[in-house]
Amino acid sequence: MNYSRIAGTGSYLPAKVLTNRDLEKMVDTSDQWIRERTGIEKRHIAAADETTCDLAEPAARRALQAAKVDSGEIDLIIVATTTPDQVFPSTACLLQQRLDIHGCPAFDVQAVCTGFVYAVAVADNFIRTGSARCALVVGAETFSRIVDWSDRGTSVLFGDGAGAVVLKASKEPGIISTHLHADGAYESLLRVPAGVSKGYDLVQEGGAYTEMRGNEVFRMAVTTLGRIVDETLQANGLQKTDIDWLIPHQANIRIIQATARKLRMPMERVVVTVSEHGNTSAASVPLALDVAVRDGRIQRGETLLMEAFGGGFTWGSVLLKY
């Protein structure tokens, strides 16, 4: 039987840094308020001429280098993003062109903050069925493009970045299981109420920005992520103590802490990068994974649980042996 295993990781953050002190000059907020409620200290913001594909490319190249894989070996490209470069072609196709890869399937996945988890699940199934042997999976966002910087409820939360993994076919289990869910009944709690089909008038009127009912989203995220942890463990006959590392979506330190308590996992075993780059949506999980792999915390053979929650609502998890 085929399995997929992470062969390499990579990430990239744009050069411009926006600190909490910078935001104090832009909206009615304070460094203390942001830290206490979110755990965020700074976020990276793409330059005006920097696109999602511009962030995805260096993250992808670093993952390829770490995996010791030539771009010609890639036979599947999936990019998880809410902020594509253009209406079409997909950001995955644009990335494929940048990497000089030809002929393999390339497409985007849109599940907002859960996008990378969704994309890994799709790539895993391609490899398990023998439809691919070496997949490049990227989460990349220029989320700052859909943030109203005069709204203190959302402007303090989000940043830009990209993370990537290379998945290779293996005879030994790497990815053990994936669990994906969505419920569109909650779309009004977290959304951008504009788009191509609705017409560009909303965009021109300034309506193409993220809207969030923060308290309700927080409660749903904590409850839902607790359930996905239980579901993942039960599906695999595991105990909470069997998880070596939790790699959560980096949205809010309080949500991360609540999920860790659910696992009875000390925060020393949770990868937390939210203070350094805020909520980078689909990029946050692979960014956190790459940081912990490269600084030596995560070692081969350890059991990892990646989980995320995003607009839709969407939520999901990936259980894997690294």
Residue 301 burial (CB count, 10 A) = 7
Given the residues 93, 113, 134, 252, the one annotated as active site: 113
Question: Quick check: is 252 catalytic?
Answer: no
H, E, C per residue of 157-207: CECCEEEEEEEEEECCCCEEEEEEEECHHHHHHEECCCECCCECHHHHCCC
Q: 177 exposed, middle or buried (CB, 10 Å; 0-12, 13-18, 19+)? A: middle
The answer to whether 151 touches 27, Cβ cutoff 8 Å, is: yes
If we measure between CA atoms, which residue out of 199, 202, 252, 181 comes closest to residue 222? 252
Residue bearing tokens 């199934």:
125
Which residue shows structure tokens 């998945």?
167
Residue 116: cis peptide before it, omega within 30 degrees of 0: no
Q: How far apart are CA 114 and CA 154, in angstroms?
A: 18
Q: How far apart are the first and last CA of the chain?
A: 18
* Annotated catalytic residue within 20, 53, 93, 249: 249
**320/322 Cα distance (integer angstroms):** 6
Does the annotation count 113 as an active-site position?
Answer: yes
Establish whether 279 is a catalytic residue: yes
Rounded distance, CA 280 to CA 286, Å?
10
Give the C-alpha separation, 279 to 276, whole Å: 10
- Before 89, cis peptide (omega within 30)? yes
Question: Which residues are known catalytic residues?
Answer: 113, 249, 279
